Structure 1
Amino acid sequence: MFKQKLTSVVNNVEGAIGCLLIGFDGIPIDSVYKDEELPQMSAVAIELSNLLDKFRRLQIYDVGEVNEVSITAGTITALAKVVAEEYLLILALSVEGNVNRGQTMLRLISPFVEREMR
C-alpha cells in the first residue's frame, strides 16, 4: 500500500539507501531499499521510535512536540518524521546524501500516509 510513496522517496533523494514506515511499537509496516536491505536499519528504526516516544512524553513539560529528528551513526544518516501520531517515516541516507531533499520528501508523502492510516 505504501511501497509506491516510499519508492518515490528513495528514487528522488540523492544518496538514499532505504525508506521505512514503522509503528512506535517497533513493528515495521513497509519498507523499500535502493539496492539491498540493510539488516541494521531495523535496529536503527526501533531505536528512533524509542527516542521519539521519549520526546513525546516530554510534552507534559511544555517542551513542545518533536516531529522530526535526524541521527548520523557511522556512514548512515537516518531522518525520522512522525506521521499519524503512532507511526514514523524513516529515510536512511549515505553520508553524502541530500538531507534537505530527504526531509522535504518525507514531508511531502506524510499527508498521504496519514490519510491511509486512518
Structure 2
Amino acid sequence: MFRQKLTRVVKNVDGSLGCMLIGFDGIPIDSVFSGEELVQMNAVAVELSNLLDKFRRLQIYEVGEVNEVSITLGEVTALARVVASEYLLILALDTDADVNRGQTMLRLIAPYVEREMV
C-alpha cells in the first residue's frame, strides 16, 4: 500500500539504504529494504519510535512538537518524520547521502501517507 511512496523516496535520494513506515507502537507497516538491512533498521526504528514518543510527552512542558529527528549510528544516518501523529517515516542513508534531500523527500510524501492512514 505504501511501498510505492517509500520506493519513490529511496530512488530519489542518492545514498538511500531504505525507507519504512512504522507505528509509535514499534510495529512496521511497510518498508523498502534488503534482507539484512531490514533486520537492523527494524531495531533502529523501534528505538526511534520510543525516543520520539518520549519527546511527544514533553509537549506538556510546552517545548513544542517534535516533527522530525536524525540520528547517526556508525555509517548510517536515520531520518525520522512524524506522520498522522501515530506513525513515523524513517529513511536510512549511507555516509555519502544527501541528508537535506532525504528530509525534503520525507516532507513531500508525508501528506500522501497521512491521507492513506485515515
TM-score interval (norm. to shorter): over 0.9
Identity of aligned residues (%): 76
**1:12 matched to 2:16:** no
Counterparts of 1:24-43 in structure 2, within 5 Å, are 24-33=24-33, 36-37=34-35, 38=37, 39-43=39-43
Counterparts of 1:71-82 in structure 2, within 5 Å, are 71-82=71-82
1:110 is matched with: 110
Specify every segment of 5 or more residues in structure 1 that has no aligned partner in the other structure, as ranges.
Answer: none
Letter paired with 1:3: R
Question: After the TM superposition, which parts of structure 1 deviate over 3 Å for at least 4 consecutive aligned residues?
Answer: none
Distance in 2 between residues matched to 1:110 and 1:13, nearest whole Å: 16
Specify every segment of 5 or more residues in structure 2 that has no aligned partner in the other structure, as ranges.
Answer: none
Aligned CA RMSD, in angstroms, stands at 0.5
Distance in 1 between residues matched to 2:74 and 2:21, nearest whole Å: 22
TM-score normalised per structure 1: 0.97
Q: How many residues align?
A: 116
TM-score normalised per structure 2: 0.97
Distance in 1 between residues matched to 2:10 and 2:23, nearest whole Å: 20
Distance in 1 between residues matched to 2:105 and 2:18, nearest whole Å: 13
